[in-house]
Amino acid sequence: MIRVPPRRGGWLEVVCGPMFSGKSEEMIRRLRRAEIAGQRVLLFKPRIDDRYDLADVVSHAGVRMSAVAVDGCAELVARARGCDVVGIDEAQFFESSIVDAALALADGGLRVIAAGLDQDFRRLPFGPMPELLARAELVDKLQAVCHRCGGPATTTQRLVDGRPAPYDGETIVVGALDSYEARCRDCHSAGQDSAAWMAA
């Protein structure tokens, strides 16, 4: 496999995969390398994600990098002025205009790295991610370790009180007592009401 970033101008690269697959770690790794190369780097995240320190992106293993929490795409584009490289973590939580925002930055000569969940807990494409993936020059789909069988996991299981969350639950639940596991397709559960899943 050969992946060659463009020699001139900007571009869009996307890192996707389920929870725990190392998207944030990979984002931080790429941005640190750019920093070492003397480039002006800024990492953004949506304000919705307040699991950890508001000012930082923190990976599940504790790797962290300071970030700017933004309320939307307009704020992101405005703050990206003067940057060479821009990271957008948890990109699935942005509104659909993140696609045009990312492309505008890339057209303007910036390297744009977007990381996010490609699928929600139902395994459906998550928010603006399909469009970002389609329009990117470079794409990486990372795998986690399946919490059940130890195999390669490509999906995220939402659990409520240890049981699979219902299919018709909200896609984004902020501050809820849900927990999540990375699962392979075979271990991803159809939930208590599997008829509802099959019908949907």
Residue 25 interface partner, choices ligand ADP, Zn ion, Mg ion, none, CB cut-off 5-8 Å depending on type = ligand ADP
Number of residues engaging ligand ADP in binding (CB under 6 A): 15
Write down the catalytic residue from 13, 25, 90, 181.
90
If binding is defined by CB under 6 A, does position 144 make contact with ligand ADP? Answer: yes
Question: Which residues, 6+ apart, have CB-to-CB distance to 142 below 8 Å?
Answer: 15, 16, 17, 21, 22, 23, 26
Annotated active-site residue 90? The verdict is yes
Query: For residues 149-188, which are near ligand ADP according to CB under 6 A?
Result: 182
Query: For residues 8-27, which are near Mg ion according to CB under 5 A?
Result: 23-24
What is the nearest approach in angstroms of Mg ion to the Cβ of residue 168?
A: 26
Task: Tally Cβ neighbours within 10 Å of residue 38.
Answer: 8
Task: Tally Cβ neighbours within 10 Å of residue 33.
Answer: 12
Report which of 11, 21, 93, 89 is spatially closest to residue 55, judged by C-alpha positions.
Answer: 89
If binding is defined by CB under 6 A, does position 102 make contact with ligand ADP? Answer: no
Tell me if 117 sits within 8 A of 16, measured CB to CB: yes
Instruction: Point out the residues that are catalytic.
Output: 90
